[in-house]
Amino acid sequence: MTTPTDAAALTERIRDYALSLGFDLVRFTTADPMLDAEAALKERIGQGLMGGLDWFTAERAEVSANPRALLPSARSVIALGTFYLTDAPRDETAPGDPHGRLSCYAWGDDYHEVIRARLDDLAAFIRTCAPPGHEKSIVFVDTGRMVDRAVAQRAGLGWYGKNTNILTRGWGSWLFLSEVVTSLDLAHDEPLAATCGQCEVCLHACPTNAFVAPYVLDNRRCISYLTIELRGSIPLELRPLIGAHIFGCDICQQVCPVNLVVEKRLRQRGQLGKPGERLMFQPRPVTGSSPALIPLLKLDDEGFRERFRHSPVKRAKRRGLLRNVCVALGNIGDPVAVPALSDALRDTEPLVRGHAAWALGRIGGTTACVALEKALAVETDATVQQEIRCALEMCG
């Protein structure tokens, strides 16, 4: 039987070790079901706000919100936060040199790989601290069946922001969340009393109006969903609103007053972009923080795999990324992209051809119109044919 004193001592040993591994926040909570989170998820599913994520069913919500459904012997959950923001400059678009925007978390190495290695190390350490046969654990980082934000909120790691992200006092919302579910009895932290108050800056900053209400996101309109999770065509009415984003979006985080204060404080302390610090989240040389768009259109499957190996960007797959690149080029509107987009009309992927047509229609001009007319004469895919016809109407 573990005494409260023993549990507190073990909890602090685990906390210290987790911090030594590179986790920036470490909190502890119970393994009780998170009934409010389950109810909220089911409500969102019923309203269709999680459209496109067909795998997230009501049954999954029940499991994700109950640690004991994942580990029957669970007694505690360790909530962990890893700060990823760096102060790297972006290569901004200039005439004749259009660049796209990557979400900050995708600049460096794939966080799933980085954090999973740390979690496995932490789980191994916990096993050495527990009596033989008394410890079982499983780890989660983003893709696992665990409601990360609900765990983080209950553990006091942070509070729910109105943009549905978890906000923390020391690191803002620039955190990767992860968990260890364990059968150990540990000392549990209390939730924070902090809230966003009356602030709604993030809600009004979203260019696609993805927020139905405070704390309620319509997944189908979120730029992160549209550029990463969505496998098909981006809805026509949303394409102009995506701007130059080609993988994810940070707008609702960038405008958040909590994040602005955090960034200013960390920059003053030299903790943001400090040389040699958090190298795994600094922009990778082959990826960058704001890549040139036209060269991306020339990537074949092998080139895509090589460039984005060990990068989060690989989640979009080649056809998804090039689809996004086409939309970004159409929104930037620089005629310098017309030759590359014309070549993309012959891509092996109908998804890329269709969005290349849309981009040419947005840019317009005689050269773009001629390329579209030639493509329409040989195109066999009905969906792409319709995209080309709509693009020709835009061309005038």
- List pLDDT tens digits, range 79-104: 999 999 987 666 677 889 999 999 99
Mean pLDDT of the chain: 91
Query: Which of 91, 142, 334, 381 is flagged as catalytic?
Result: 142
Q: Which of 251, 256, 254, 159 is nearest to 200 (CA)?
A: 256
Q: Span 4-84+110-182: which CATH code?
A: 3.40.109
Contact partners, residue 256, CB within 8 Å, separation at least 6: 161, 163, 167, 172, 173, 201, 202
Residue 254 has a pLDDT of 95
CA proximity to 392, closest of 380, 383, 376: 376
Task: Place 129 in a pLDDT band, splitting at 50, 70 and 90.
Answer: confident
What is the reported pLDDT for 290? Answer: 92
pLDDT at residue 141 in the model: 79
Please give the pLDDT value at position 59: 82
- Catalytic (active site) residue 91: no
CATH of domain 292-396: 1.25.10.10
Backbone region of residue 310 per phi and psi (left: phi > 0; alpha: psi in -120 to 50; beta: other values): left
pLDDT, position 4? 65
Given a cut of 60, whether residue 328 has pLDDT beyond it is: yes
In the numeric block, the tokens 């317009």 are attached to 364
User: Tens digits of per-residue pLDDT, 229-254?
Assistant: 999 999 999 999 999 999 999 999 99
Q: Which of 321 and 277 is assigned the larger pLDDT?
A: 321
pLDDT on residue 308: 95
pLDDT for the residue numbered 134: 65
- Segments making up each domain of the chain, as ranges: 4-84+110-182, 292-396
pLDDT digits 0-9 by tens, 169-197: 989 999 999 999 999 999 999 999 999 99
Choice between 227 and 144, residue whose per-residue pLDDT is larger: 227
